[in-house]
């Protein structure tokens, strides 16, 4: 459950800090324009507790708020797109805690409190609330229709002598709530992760619809210690819409009296499988104890394989991971199979040590293979250096009705009050991403920073001649939005000049960030021509550093990838950056040229693979069906030979030509620069397998 670092052991006893997961099957969402308001700065304020109003039930530094959760309504008719937020409010109202419900109808820009859910009215004496979770039913469950809102959480009496997991329901989009049921009950709400612990708490509930249509409540269970299980992540299933709950079953219950999985979150994948994430307290060791995040996959949300195991750690290709209070979400945008996105409190070095955390971890292969980073919409002080107030603990994610806009709700330190505000921000998941360190840099410096996108940023843009120039390529002329991730620790607003294609410079402003290691977003509209454009940033007023650009527009803009051959490790490219029809396609080591970048554009049930440099499509010439025919590029013809069936397995992709039924491979499984790509009957060799890489390209 709580915060496991040595720094935070004292604070981690905060019973009101724990995580749960929202699961919503959204594979059927139709493509639409993204939300009009992509939040800049560090998100919009939902709630700010007054200074001095917060409490900590066991002493120590008050937090104000933790455990923000967000739902974007998608099954509520005219209410679709409405956002609801709740959180763990560490402020008493008439001597008790409640679950507050806030609403936004303008894409998260402004928020209004609509009600409080007060469990003490149902359970007299249960005056403490914790660990709320919001869920909108994507389909009917028992007597509950699709669109019913459910709120679950853990409640306890003032002396924390027991723990109870309860569910409330709303039939009017969160305006009013009524008690539905008790999921489970346990012993005193006491946090003790030591191997000698005797605690019997149940906490951190979340909800999902499983593969058979049942309503599942996942949660942490400390009552299996007789079997050597310090804590399990478990579930109960309901077949009558949450009125009654079935037998206890486990997702992960390691019997070693050390590993302590908790804060389980679950997402349904587009292939019908389920992916669960959870932290494992007492890892990498009981002394280091930074709670790395692990995941497991189930075919139906109920059967999770060997329940004595903790699954697979979430890590980048370089071994970096994330830890503490994860939240997982699958979104349909951002890649040919969408994206699995995990938010967590902090990032970890490859050795398991905490070193901050301002990036989401994402996977384009439905959880298999290496993960990448994606900048968070809202950032916070992951090391608790602003007074130990649990910033970023147990945050929430959801996607807009467009399937393209990601919303993040989290608690963020307010340096004026010393308490956490609740904030919501958003980013488009299908934006083109351009790293500053990959741009053309003049009289400026590349700076290594673990929390920068791709681990680097550009600083010292300090002089009249300093410049960072990005080369971007877009499919059509028109207006585009630039989201610029920056940091500005100068204490006052700074600016850069921005010019497009050598035109007149205009200003982009950067409000101050907490320090030179904290990022925020600025936004600017630019007019681009079809094809290649330059966007140049120059010294303005004050000082600011550039991390990454997100370029997007209201109509779909396909994200760009490198396509890396598993056998050779080299990149798929159009030879010599040719623009001609019929130009050969092969492999080469990384050159940073746009000829090594591709967009994967959905077309019906298939995918078109479009070269970013030329704008032309990968095809098998002449619609040939024979083994060994070399691949090439060509302008669009509408022929099936320009369509590919993209499939992922074990972290690797295969691309099967829709006309021939044969797979894209490197001829002879060569590892040489310049080796050509061709089609061949499936043979299972590594040269027919590819990885999609999005982070760190330019």
Residue 269 has pLDDT above 60, yes or no: yes
**Residues 299-324: pLDDT tens digits?**
999 999 999 999 999 999 999 999 99
pLDDT at 377: 95
Residue 410 is classified by DSSP as E
3-state SS of the chain: helix, strand, coil percent to 5? 5, 45, 50
* pLDDT at 10 > cutoff 90: no
pLDDT, residue 525, reads 95
| HEC sequence for 570-614 | CEEEEHHHCCCCCCEEEEECCCCCHHHCEEEEEECCEEEEEECCC
- Residue 557: the pLDDT is 78
Asked if residue 580 and residue 547 are part of one domain, the reply reads no
At residue 294 the predicted structure's pLDDT band, cuts being 50, 70 and 90, is very high
CA distance 4 to 325: 10
What is the pLDDT of the chain when averaged over all its residues?
91
pLDDT interval class at 256 (50, 70, 90): very high
Query: Residues 618, 639: one domain?
Result: yes
How many of the other CB atoms lie within 10 Å of CB of 32? Answer: 16
pLDDT-derived band at 14, boundaries 50, 70, 90 = very low
Categorize the per-residue pLDDT at 31 as very low, low, confident or very high, splitting at 50, 70 and 90.
Answer: very low
Alpha-carbon gap, residue 438 to 234, rounded angstroms: 45
Phi, psi of 451, deg, nearest 5: -95, 0
Least confident of 130-134, 160-164, 248-252, 692-696: 692-696
Is residue 168 a part of any domain in this protein? Answer: yes
* In contact, 486 and 520? CB cutoff 8 Å: yes
The model's confidence at residue 655, banded by pLDDT at 50, 70 and 90, is very high
Domain contains 352: yes
Q: Please identify, among 520, 552, 584, the residue that sits at the C-terminal boundary of a domain.
A: 552
pLDDT at position 41, please? 87
Beta bridge partners of 384: none
C-alpha torsion angle, residues 240, 157, 101, 17 (rounded to 10) = -100
Confidence of residue 383 (pLDDT cuts 50, 70, 90): low
How would DSSP label each residue in 217-234? Answer: EEEEE---GGGT-S-EEE
Answer for the pair 444, 436: CB distance below 8 angstroms, yes or no.
Answer: no
Q: What is the pLDDT of residues 56-113, one digit of tens each?
A: 766 667 889 999 999 999 999 999 999 999 999 999 989 999 999 999 999 999 999 9
Tokens of 73: 């309504």
- The span from the CA of 685 to the CA of 300, in Å, is 30
pLDDT digits (tens, 9 = 90+) for 152-181: 999 999 999 999 999 999 999 999 999 999
pLDDT at residue 551 is higher than 50? yes
Q: Which of 386, 401, 430 is the last residue of a domain?
A: 430
Cα–Cα dist 59/523, whole Å: 41
Q: What is the pLDDT of residue 29?
A: 36
pLDDT at 127 over 60: yes
Say which CATH number the domain at 438 has: 2.60.120.260
What confidence score (pLDDT) does residue 373 get? 95
Average pLDDT of the residues in 479-504: 97
Predicted pLDDT of residue 38: 55
* Each residue's pLDDT tens digit, 182-221: 999 999 999 999 999 999 999 999 999 999 999 999 999 9
CATH of the domain at 390: 2.120.10.10
Residue 659 sits in a domain whose CATH number is 2.80.10.50
What does 66-127 look like in DSSP terms, one character per residue?
A: EEEEEEE-SSSGGGTT-EEEEEEE-S-BTTB--EEEEEESSTTSS-EEEEEE-GGGTSTT--
- Check if the beta carbon of residue 340 is closer than 8 Å to that of residue 367: yes
The most distant pair of C-alpha atoms in the chain lies apart, rounded to whole Å, by: 77
Q: Is the domain of 221 the same as that of 245?
A: yes
In a domain, 191, yes or no: yes
- Above pLDDT 90, what percent of the chain? 85
Q: What phi and psi, each to the nearest 5 degrees, are found at residue 479?
A: -85, 135
CA dist 72 and 296 (Å) reads 26
Residue 240 pLDDT > 90: yes
Q: Which range of residues forms the domain containing residue 671?
A: 560-693
Is 117 in contact with 133 (CB distance < 8 Å)?
A: no
Return the percentage of the chain with pLDDT > 70, whole number: 93
User: CA 384 to CA 396: how far, in whole Å?
Assistant: 19
The answer to whether residue 498 sits within a structural domain is yes
Q: Give the burial class of 112: count Cβ atoms within 10 A of its Cβ; 0-12 exposed, 13-18 middle, 19 or more buried.
A: exposed
Whole-number Å distance between alpha carbons of 437 and 555: 28
Checking if the pLDDT of 248 tops 90, the result is yes
Whether residue 399 is predicted with pLDDT greater than 90 in this model: the reply is yes
> Quick one: pLDDT at residue 447?
98
474 and 346, same structural domain? no
Q: Is residue 1 part of a domain?
A: no
Q: Other C-beta atoms within 10 Å of 190: how many?
A: 17
Q: Are residues 206 and 101 part of one domain?
A: yes
Which residues contact residue 165 at a Cβ distance below 8 angstroms, ignoring those fewer than 6 apart? Answer: 152, 153, 154, 182, 183, 184, 185, 202, 203, 205, 217, 219
Q: Are residue 80 and residue 66 in the same domain, yes or no?
A: yes
The CA distance from 513 to 534, in Å, is 27
Q: What is the pLDDT of residue 59?
A: 65
Instruction: Give the contacts of 684 (CB within 8 A, at least 6 positions apart).
Output: none
3-state DSSP call for residue 687? helix
Closest CA to 345 of 451, 440, 260, 257: 451
**Pairwise CA distance, residues 131 & 281, whole Å:** 18
Say how many domains are in the chain. 3
Least confident of 29-38, 435-444, 617-626: 29-38
The answer on 361 and 474 residing in a single domain is no
Q: Is 195 inside a domain boundary?
A: yes
578 & 543 share domain? no
Residue-wise pLDDT tens digits, 521-548: 999 999 999 999 999 999 999 999 999 9
Specify if 97 maps to a domain.
yes
Same domain? 348 vs 397: yes
8 Å CB contact between 580 and 613: no
Give yes or no for residue 497 having a pLDDT over 50.
Answer: yes
698 found inside a domain? no
- For residue 388, the model assigns a pLDDT of 57
Given 552, 581, 612, which residue is the final one in a domain? 552
Q: Are residues 545 and 570 located together in one domain of the fold?
A: no
38 and 91 in a single domain? The answer is yes
The pLDDT-based confidence of 21 (bands split at 50, 70, 90) is: very low
Are 378 and 367 part of one and the same domain? yes
């Amino acid at each position: 459950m709580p915060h496991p670092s040595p720094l935070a052991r004292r604070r981690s006893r905060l019973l009101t800090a724990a995580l749960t997961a929202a699961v919503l099957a959204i594979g059927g969402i139709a493509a639409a324009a993204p939300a009009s308001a992509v939040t800049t700065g560090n998100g919009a304020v939902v709630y700010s507790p007054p200074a001095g109003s917060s409490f900590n039930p066991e002493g120590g530094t008050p937090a104000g708020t933790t455990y923000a959760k967000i739902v974007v309504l998608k099954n509520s008719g005219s209410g679709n797109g409405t956002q609801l937020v709740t959180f763990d409010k560490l402020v008493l109202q008439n001597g008790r805690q409640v679950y507050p419900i806030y609403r936004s109808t303008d894409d998260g820009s402004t928020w209004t409190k609509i009600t409080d859910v007060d469990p003490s009215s149902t359970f007299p004496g249960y005056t403490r609330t914790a660990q709320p979770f919001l869920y909108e039913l994507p389909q009917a469950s028992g007597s509950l229709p699709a669109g019913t809102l459910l709120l679950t959480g853990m409640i306890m009496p003032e002396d924390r002598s027991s723990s109870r997991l309860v569910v409330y329901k709303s039939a009017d989009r969160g305006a009013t709530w009524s008690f539905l049921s008790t999921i489970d009950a346990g012993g005193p709400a006491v946090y003790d992760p030591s191997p000698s612990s005797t605690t019997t708490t149940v906490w951190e509930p979340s909800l999902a619809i499983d593969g058979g249509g049942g309503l599942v409540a996942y949660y942490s269970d400390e009552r299996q210690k007789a079997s050597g299980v310090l804590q399990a992540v478990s579930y109960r299933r309901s077949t009558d819409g949450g009125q009654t709950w079935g037998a206890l079953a486990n997702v992960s219950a390691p019997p070693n009296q050390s590993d302590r999985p908790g804060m389980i979150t679950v997402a349904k994948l587009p292939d019908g499988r389920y992916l669960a994430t959870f932290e494992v307290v007492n890892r990498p060791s009981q002394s280091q104890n930074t709670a790395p995040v692990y995941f497991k996959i189930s075919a139906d949300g109920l059967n999770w394989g060997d329940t004595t195991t903790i699954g697979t750690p979430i890590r980048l290709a370089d071994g970096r991971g994330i830890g503490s209070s994860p939240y997982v979400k699958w979104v349909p945008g951002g890649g040919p199979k969408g994206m699995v996105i995990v938010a967590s409190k902090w990032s970890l070095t490859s050795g398991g040590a905490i070193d901050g955390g301002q990036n989401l971890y994402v996977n384009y292969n439905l959880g298999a293979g290496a993960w990448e980073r994606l900048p968070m919409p809202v950032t916070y002080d992951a090391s608790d250096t602003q007074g130990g107030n649990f910033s970023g603990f147990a945050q929430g994610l959801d996607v807009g009705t467009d399937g393209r806009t990601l919303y993040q709700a989290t608690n963020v330190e307010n340096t004026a009050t010393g308490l956490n505000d609740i904030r919501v921000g958003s980013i488009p998941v299908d934006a083109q991403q351009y790293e500053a360190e990959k741009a053309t840099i003049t009289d400026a410096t590349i700076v290594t920073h673990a929390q920068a996108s791709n681990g680097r940023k550009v600083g010292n843009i300090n002089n009249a001649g300093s410049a960072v120039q990005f080369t971007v390529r877009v499919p059509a002329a028109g207006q585009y939005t630039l989201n610029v991730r920056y940091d500005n620790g100068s204490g006052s607003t700074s600016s850069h000049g921005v010019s497009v294609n050598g035109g007149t410079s205009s200003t982009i402003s950067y409000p101050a960030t907490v320090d030179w290691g904290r990022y925020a977003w600025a936004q600017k509209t630019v007019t681009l021509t079809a094809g290649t454009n330059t966007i140049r940033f120059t010294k303005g007023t004050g000082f600011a550093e550039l991390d990454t650009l997100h370029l997007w527009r209201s109509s779909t803009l396909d994200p760009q990838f490198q396509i890396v051959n598993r056998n050779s490790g080299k990149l798929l490219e159009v030879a010599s950056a040719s623009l001609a029809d019929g130009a050969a396609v092969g492999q080469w080591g990384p050159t940073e040229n746009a000829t090594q970048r591709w967009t994967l554009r959905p077309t019906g049930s298939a995918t078109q693979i479009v070269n970013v440099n030329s704008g032309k499509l990968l095809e098998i010439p002449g619609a040939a069906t024979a083994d060994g025919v070399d691949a090439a590029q060509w302008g669009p013809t509408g022929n099936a030979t320009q369509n590919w069936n993209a499939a992922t397995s074990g972290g690797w992709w295969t691309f099967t030509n829709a006309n021939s039924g044969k797979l894209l491979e490197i001829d002879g499984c060569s590892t040489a620069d310049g080796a050509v790509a061709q089609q061949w009957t499936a043979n299972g060799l590594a040269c027919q397998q590819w990885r999609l890489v999005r982070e760190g390209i330019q």
